[in-house]
Structure 1
Amino acid sequence: MALILVIDDETDACRLMERILSADGHRVFGFTEVEAAMRWLDDNVPDLAILDIKLQSTDGISLLKAMRLRDPFMKVIMIVGTSSVEAANLAIGQGIDAYLVKPLELDELEQRVASALALEQAR
């Protein structure tokens, strides 16, 4: 299955995504700190990254841009809050593959991940 990177500064949300996607057979590495995730990216190339748009040390758009410098074709799902429609549109403009709205619906998470990975395999 796929190698998935999850970055969300909310520990519970990060662990939930790790647990659900691991149960689906994926290898999932979750980080609550951007710096640790970027160090992990020095040695790993995920099939998919799931990023929260609001992080403590930076915003998800800036992180997305930094990650795209490493891999311009990285598949990305952005997580936004219910009041972040503008942010979701900005993220779409940056070429994300999908977005999810918090609170997360687990079925929707699994569906979006499957769709993004199908695009990756088609590439």
Structure 2
Amino acid sequence: MSNILIVDDEPNILLSLEFLFKKEGYKVFIARDGEEALGIIEDKVPALIILDIMMPKVDGYEVCKHVKSEYPNMKVIFLTAKSKQQDVQKGLNLGADMYLTKPFSTKDLVTKVKTLLN
């Protein structure tokens, strides 16, 4: 089963998504900010990243830009409260495979992750 990295500075989201995807059989790594995420990406090379945008140190846009330049086949899903059209466009322009806004359906997220990884 694929490795997933979940990057968010909200502990509740990290805990619930980590539980959800472990239950689905994925190996899950978590990071609380973009800087921590970049270290895990280099070390573990996950198949997919679920990525918040607004985080301390390094934001999600920067993480996505790095991932897509170093690992073009790695899947990125933005999961963020930033819902303005220009934010969505910026995320997709940086190479994100999907852009989802909070609040979100966990069932929908699991389906989208399975679709991207199969």
Q: TM-score, normalised by structure 1?
A: 0.86
State which drifts further: 46-55 or 61-70.
61-70
What's the CA shift for 1:86?
1.9
CA distance in structure 2 between the aligned counterparts of 1:112 and 1:106, rounded to whole angstroms:
10
CA distance in structure 2 between the aligned counterparts of 1:82 and 1:34, rounded to whole angstroms:
16
For structure 1, the 5+ residue unaligned runs are 119-123
What's the CA shift for 1:79?
1.1
Report the residue type matching 1:117 in the other structure.
L
Secondary structure of 1:103 counterpart: coil
For structure 2, the 5+ residue unaligned runs are none
**Cα 1:82–1:105 shift into 2, 3 Å:** farther
What's the CA shift for 1:82?
5.5
Equivalence for 1:121: none
Equivalence for 1:15: 15
Secondary structure of 2:62 counterpart: helix
Equivalence for 2:3: 3
In the TM superposition, 1:70-109 aligns within 5 A as 70-81=70-81, 83-109=83-109
Q: TM-score, normalised by structure 2?
A: 0.90
